[in-house]
Structure 1
Amino acid sequence: MLISQQHLDYSNAALLTFGLCFIASIVVSYPLAEHFTLTTQIASHISNIVLAGLFKISYVLRCVCQYQLGMEVR
């Protein structure tokens, strides 16, 4: 499978999206918890775990794309 610049762009977008969603779920889970129902708090705590995993996967995909394109992997 050939890795292209478009794959790198998708992984960067995923990294940004999952990072922002993770930050939002942390805010709902802890500092603003008293403003949300128990169901919403439970969902946000579960989403913390899921979003952290998706963030890590998108970072690994970004590193693979950079490596395949001959770019510096950071």
Structure 2
Amino acid sequence: MKKILFTITFILTAISSNAQCAMCRAALESNDSGIKPEAVNDGIVYLMIFPYLIVALIGYAVYKLRTKKPKAALTE
């Protein structure tokens, strides 16, 4: 399990993302826009983090619920 987690972490941190859709690229390549392409690219990558974070939190919650030790049954 630790090897898999390490591999996934390494892959996600080692990949340099250059996330830009075709419409953003076309808008930024025009000379009249005053927006720097690097700033837009950083914003896209920043927004891309949240879906992965939500999936990770849900996965962690499911993991904790499945590995939870059952409480001793109260007998009356």
TM-score by length of 2: 0.42
Q: Which has the higher contact order (CA 8 A, sep 6+)?
A: 1
Q: Greater helix share, 1 or 2?
A: 1
TM-score by length of 1: 0.43
**Which of 1 and 2 has greater Rg?**
2
